Amino acid sequence: MNDLHHAARRCLEASDPADKLRLTHETWQALQAGELRPDHAAPPPVPMGPPGRPARPRLVEARQVPQRGLGTPAGRAALVHAIAHIEFNAINLAWDAVYRFRGFPEDYYRDWASCAHDEARHFAMLQDRLAELGHAYGDFDAHNGLWEMAEKTAHSDLARMALVPRVLEARGLDVTPGMIERLRGVGDVRTVAILEVILREEVAHVAAGTRWFRWCCERDGLEPRATFVGLLRDYMGGGLRGPFNHPARQEAGFDPEEMRQLVALAG
């Protein structure tokens, strides 16, 4: 089987984290080697369902996830766990973008397979850090906000490219520098080093969302800035939280006018 869509679905459905990481790396390597490519005759994607995931962590409402200070190892472990959960979801999001949306240039599929490969590395680094802190993935409750947005946008590649990478994942560009500063303040240089890698590589992932959102706009004859704001209002009530990491977002493709619009929406 040399169909990339089929391989992406296997990665998406794997429930054991070790299996998901292994399949992700194998699929990326096969794509790089020319052994996989999107098959235009492949069966259409199945309706959106939950991705493969382990029985734990327990999924709760975002407001029910406990907030812990970073002054204790348990508090730092809770933060690392929360970020690991985001990265685990991001693996699934990248593979769903490969599996669900058809008819794109091959560079689209390469971009999101590369993102999945990066997110798997990030998850593995965080999993190792959790072990150093005496914990494992699943030890803390987590929320499902990223995947819930994937479900809401399953019908629209335009909305998916706008709202998952350019809103939810881009939020990581905004908040990670503050996390790094706080962790550095309590002497956790090991976690800081991991977050610095993640922050640097996530810029490219948000940039991929920008690139393919604009490609969808051009395909559909839409003006990107107005379309983005319209999607924010339709799906999120226009609500955004600031402040924003302007240099990182601009590196990820947000232009100055878009940044002005985001600041205005955030009030």
| Position 107 in a domain | yes
In a domain, 71, yes or no: no
> What's the mean pLDDT when you consider all of the chain?
95
Nearest to 100 by CA among 109, 88, 110: 109
CATH number at residue 241: 1.20.1260.10
Nearest to 80 by CA among 124, 120, 116: 124
In a domain, 22, yes or no: no
18, part of any domain: no
For the ranges 48-57, 64-73, 246-255, which has the lowest average pLDDT?
64-73
The first and second tokens of residue 6, run together, are: 């089929």
> DSSP secondary-structure letter at 62?
G
The H or E element containing residue 87 is helix 73-100
Distance CA 53, CA 146 (A): 14
Which two structure tokens, joined as six digits, stand for 134? 């005496």
> Domain span at residue 103?
76-265
What confidence tens digit (pLDDT) does each residue in 175-226 have?
Answer: 999 999 999 999 999 999 999 999 999 999 999 999 999 999 999 999 999 9
Predicted pLDDT at 238: 67
DSSP state of 64: G
Residue 64 reports pLDDT greater than 80: no
* Domains in the chain, number: 1
Type of residue numbered 26:
E
pLDDT tens per residue, range 76-119: 999 999 999 999 999 999 999 999 999 999 999 999 999 999 99
Kindly report, residue by residue over 152-175, the tens digit of the pLDDT. Answer: 999 999 999 999 999 999 999 999
Condensed to tens digits (0 to 9), the pLDDT of residues 126-149 reads: 999 999 999 999 999 999 888 999
Distance (Å, whole) CA 199 – CA 239: 24
Q: Is residue 242 part of a domain?
A: yes
Higher pLDDT among residues 260 and 66, named by residue: 260
Residue with tokens 């999924």: 59
In a domain, residue 188? The reply is: yes
Domain for residue 20, yes or no?
Answer: no
Exposure b/e, 179-203, CB count within 10 A at least 16 = b: bbebbeeeebeebbebbeebbeebb
- 47 inside domain: no
CA distance 112 to 95: 7
Structure token pair of residue 142: 């987590």
Residues forming beta bridges with residue 59, ordered by sequence position: 142
Residue 142 contacts residue 81 (beta carbons within 8 Å): yes
Specify the pLDDT at position 1.
62
Separation between Cα atoms, residue 48 and residue 153, nearest integer Å: 10
Which pLDDT value is given to residue 240? 85
Q: Quick one: pLDDT at residue 205?
A: 97
What is the per-residue pLDDT across 17-41, written as a single tens digit (0 to 9) for each? 999 999 999 999 999 999 999 998 8
The model's pTM is 0.96
Q: Give pLDDT tens digits for 217-256.
A: 999 999 999 999 999 999 988 678 889 999 999 999 999 9
3-state secondary structure of 242: coil
